[in-house]
Homo-oligomer: A and B are copies of this chain.
């Protein structure tokens, strides 16, 4: 139970005694789209430091629990959802990030389908939690502003080069739904014809055969994502 030289063995036996052990937390950035805006789930701090400020939900790693398991647990505690897109983002370890002492925090980010969101926001009302549009954030605790900025950059990048976008949609969706995800997150318009051409040429999506009527206009074909597996470039 007392690691002495891991993971290396650079034999300068000077460090045989107990090592300095920082606290290790996992923070989970939970994104979704509500009302045409990319939003993140934040919780209001009830204690010092940063009392009253908003923060990314997170918690400490437990014994016998992997980092990913911690993230999944946190996610479930906050939102009740499981089985959604989750990816390690970055590990933040500046000594001064927490005024109370050293905390190394491994950040993950999760994408929740826009549809499950009603449920979520209800479930999270108990502990003071809210979905904030990412371009209208409140005052944040710790270095959480930078963490969020970094996550958004990564999300934008992933959206352009992989198929994460599907993680923000329900099983069945229209191509317009998909296009809207891209437009909202990347914050620029796409040409409808070119967009559809590109998506269909990627062959990641197939029509369900069903149509859905969503207003006083022509019904739309719905599609489903072929394999519920992500990305061509599965390197972060």
Contact = CB atoms under 8 A, between A and B. Distances in A.
Contact of A2 (B24, B43, B47, B101): B101
Interface stretch (A5-13, A115-123, A177-185, A214-222): A5-13
B103 A157 contact: no
Interface residue tally on A, bucketed by range: 35 or more
- The majority secondary structure among interface residues of chain A is loop
A47 to B, nearest CB: 6
Contact of A24 (B1, B22, B62): B22
Given A21-B22, A60-B19, A235-B153, A10 B78 contact: yes
A80 interface: no
A177 to B, nearest CB: 26
Interface in A27-50: 27, 43-47
Q: Report the copy number of this chain in the oligomer.
A: 2
B19 A6 contact: no
A68 to B, nearest CB: 8
B127 A77 contact: no
A172 interface: no
Contacts of A2: 100-101
Contact of A101 (B3, B78, B144): B3
Interface string A92-123: 01110010111111100000000000000000
Top 6 A-B pairs ranked by shortest CB distance?
Answer: A67-B93, A9-B45, A21-B21, A1-B101, A8-B58, A91-B91
